[in-house]
Structure 1
Amino acid sequence: MSIGLFHTRLNVSNHLLGAPVLTLDLLVDTVKKKVSGVASIYQSTWPPLNFRARVWGEYSEAKLVPTAESHIILSLDGNPSGPTSQIAETFHLKGILGAEWDSGFASYKYQEQGIWHPVKHAAVSQAPVIVIPEQPHHAQPLYAVAVQQAQASGDLAQLKSVVSKGEQQLAHSGALRSALEQLNAEIARLEAR
């Protein structure tokens, strides 16, 4: 188990077709033995369900006597706004997990439209971590103004320099490649004068 703060993402499900699936995105503070995060419950069958709550709670570590294996006893509460709000709790979970937070069993209940819905003895497993690929954040200079200035001044060397820089940075794009080819044709036309 990690020490300090770590993130874990867990699925809690009884693996029945159409049954609700709880996903817990949790930040675990091993120093204070506190947990906080988000609980999302999704059900694809009728009636569709898309429940979400901010959750908080605590955990303790327990050792089973015959095997000396460590387990995590997890207790979570939740509501739509967090622990400091005045909104009543709409989510409760009690679970026992392996020492690595990667498996176990939990029972939970959630309140939807004023009715509590219990889910008993559901299996806990690691949920896939969703990775969103990062887009480059650096600016890509476009040389339209420089090209227009070079064309207007008739400075062929400046125009070639601008087109060369554009080719180096943007040659991989199809639309831009076409624009660069047109600029090269313009350069050739100007050189022919």
Structure 2
Amino acid sequence: MTIRNSLRTAGVLATSTLALALTACSADDTSAPQKDRASESRTTAPEPEQPSAPDHTTAPDDVGDRVLAQVTGRDSIVLTITGVERSASGKSVTVAATLENTGTKGFFGISAYGGTDASIKGRMHSLAGATLTDTANSLRYYVLRDTAGGCLCSTALRALKPGETVPVFAQFPAPPDNVRSVDFQLPTFPNATVSLGAAR
């Protein structure tokens, strides 16, 4: 009876051990796929939504469209001043403008804008005749020149067709820092008074 009971006990223990082993394997089998799915979920998750690109349908303000002063000269030519700025060094002032032929005929009088100083190279088709006047101090400034004797201004100007507009510029010595307005004058045009700020 003792041997028989021992065998029976050994069989029960073997059965229990096998059941525990199968349970452990079953637990391992179910946990492994869960880890894989979790990893897959992380790798395939949708990317965070990126902020949309800025809307550029509304164009920024175009400083070229500013009108600081406007005067009409001979043969329906309109001079529009769009910018008057000191240089960063404060030693010069640049006047930016446009010339527009508002008449019905071509304009061939560009040579008048070159002034009368024959020593300026290429003056006949330029803005070499432009001046800047500090009325408060009774000082007049002429267009600056480069080392070759040409003006620091628009050159190689040509006849203006009806309705045509061309951008032009002229650079001058800068008036004192406390001067806040100047008169720009181009031959055949009236004076145009414009504001002059400090250097940027």
Same fold (TM over 0.5): no
After TM superposition, the score normalised by the length of structure 2 is 0.28
Larger proportion of helix: 2
Larger radius of gyration: 2
| Relative contact order higher in (CA < 8 Å, ≥ 6 apart) | 2
Larger proportion of strand: 1
After TM superposition, the score normalised by the length of structure 1 is 0.29
